[in-house]
């Protein structure tokens, strides 16, 4: 690393620690020329998209580079992730990855189009988010046990939606079926946004969704939340019980949002972006927004994110095997 680059990173670290934005000169010295594309591997309107657009705006303000959000949905996040895995490793293309793109998809695909560790450069964990079981207005059940009884009394009538095959909400649904013995068909969508539209419209009765994407609809009363899928209740919705509290034991699933680059992003670029993303997440308005979206703010080093990916692969492997593997493609 050159003396100039070391000095630049030192300045960036100081800027991040005291909460001031980079000057254009500092950013231009390390970051690639031109705009940075942040690929969201799901359709617009879903939880990952909402978080990504807010983070992109704040990051753009700090580094004084345009950060463009590009939605590339499909394949439970695999299509967008593959696009980034094959992109130029200069840091001009980034991915807002999730547990789906970096653990579940590789574990549920016979021939994965990318390696979640070798083909990406971790940058920073942004936030963690619970999943939630939702029902539409036409479903008469007011709590989880009533829903289970309703499904068992009318086998074949109920189905559930998710943001795509192999996503955390999908696996939440499959785990729910396994733990309760109910029979439901899975209806996959190209993101949480389209799935929520159909839930509200009555096209599907049940939806497993990421809580950050569902929060505004729950507050509006257009859908009902029966349980969150984490071990503890969400601070944003303290009246919504956990699966365990609602009578379904040994149940924990959640998702997260984290920024990755393709393999081979220069360390100076990784350090710069990681520092700035940590600073973005630490901003009071960002903290407030993430909490409003029912996400828990994180902001981490690249090393911490790499450790998370490994731990998620270790965790989800046995769970996926226990419910039949879900191998596809």
Among 3.20.20.140, 3.40.190.150, 2.60.40.1120, 3.90.1150.10, name the CATH number for the domain at 3-129+255-322. Answer: 3.40.190.150
| Average pLDDT of the segment spanning 286-315 | 91
Third-level CATH fold of 130-228: D-Maltodextrin-Binding Protein; domain 2 (3.40.190)
Provide the pLDDT confidence category of residue 296 given band limits of 50, 70 and 90: confident
- Between 223 and 22, the higher pLDDT residue: 223
Sign of the CA dihedral running 293, 52, 223, 228: negative
Q: Torsion over CA of 200, 204, 207 and 212, rounded to 10 degrees?
A: -30
| Average pLDDT of the segment spanning 85-99 | 96
Percent above pLDDT 90 for the chain: 64
**Rounded distance between C-alpha atoms, residue 41 and residue 38, angstroms:** 10
Provide the pLDDT confidence category of residue 292 given band limits of 50, 70 and 90: confident
Query: Is residue 91 pLDDT above 90, yes or no?
Result: yes
The predicted-structure confidence for 42-61, as pLDDT tens digits, reads as follows 989 877 898 999 999 999 99
CA distances, 125 to each of 44, 95, 98, 275, 290 (Å): 21, 12, 10, 11, 13
Q: Within 10 Å of residue 205's Cβ, how many Cβ atoms?
A: 22
Give me the residue spans of the domains in the chain.
Answer: 3-129+255-322, 130-228
- Between 7 and 86, the higher pLDDT residue: 86
**Rounded distance between C-alpha atoms, residue 9 and residue 68, angstroms:** 24
- List, in sequence order, every residue forming a beta bridge with 70; answer none if it has no partner: 39
Query: Is residue 24 pLDDT above 50, yes or no?
Result: no
**Rounded distance between C-alpha atoms, residue 187 and residue 168, angstroms:** 14
Q: What is the pLDDT of residue 163?
A: 87
The predicted-structure confidence for 222-232, as pLDDT tens digits, reads as follows 999 999 998 88
Sign of the CA dihedral running 208, 210, 211, 217: negative
């Amino acid at each position: 690393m050159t003396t100039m680059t070391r000095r630049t990173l030192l300045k960036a670290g100081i800027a991040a620690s005291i909460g001031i934005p980079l000057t254009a000169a500092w950013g231009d010295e390390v970051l690639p020329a031109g705009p940075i594309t942040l690929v969201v591997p799901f359709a617009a309107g879903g939880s990952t998209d909402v978080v990504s657009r807010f983070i992109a705006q704040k990051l753009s303000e700090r580094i004084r580079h345009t950060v463009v959000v590009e939605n590339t949905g499909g394949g439970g996040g695999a299509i967008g992730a593959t696009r980034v895995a094959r992109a130029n490793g200069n840091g001009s293309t980034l991915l807002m990855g999730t547990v789906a793109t970096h653990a579940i998809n590789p574990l549920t695909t016979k021939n994965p189009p990318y390696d979640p560790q070798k083909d990406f450069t971790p940058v920073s964990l942004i936030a963690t988010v619970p999943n939630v079981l939702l029902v539409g207005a036409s479903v008469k059940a007011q709590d989880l046990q009533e829903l289970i009884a309703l499904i068992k009394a009318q086998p074949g009538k109920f189905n559930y939606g998710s943001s795509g095959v192999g996503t955390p909400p999908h696996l939440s649904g499959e785990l729910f079926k396994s733990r309760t013995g109910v029979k439901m068909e899975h209806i996959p969508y190209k993101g949480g946004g389209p799935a929520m539209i159909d839930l509200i419209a009555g096209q599907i009765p049940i939806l497993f969704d990421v809580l950050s994407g569902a929060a505004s609809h729950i507050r509006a009363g257009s859908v009902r939340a029966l349980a969150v899928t984490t071990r503890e209740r969400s601070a944003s919705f303290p009246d919504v019980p956990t699966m365990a509290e609602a009578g379904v034991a040994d149940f924990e699933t959640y998702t997260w949002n984290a920024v990755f680059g393709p393999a081979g992003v220069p360390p100076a670029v990784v350090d710069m972006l990681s520092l700035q993303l940590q600073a973005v997440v630490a901003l009071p308005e960002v903290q407030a927004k993430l909490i409003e979206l029912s996400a828990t703010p994180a902001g981490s080093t690249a090393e911490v994110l790499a450790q998370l990916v490994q731990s998620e692969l270790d965790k989800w492997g046995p769970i996926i095997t226990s419910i039949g593997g879900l191998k596809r493609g």
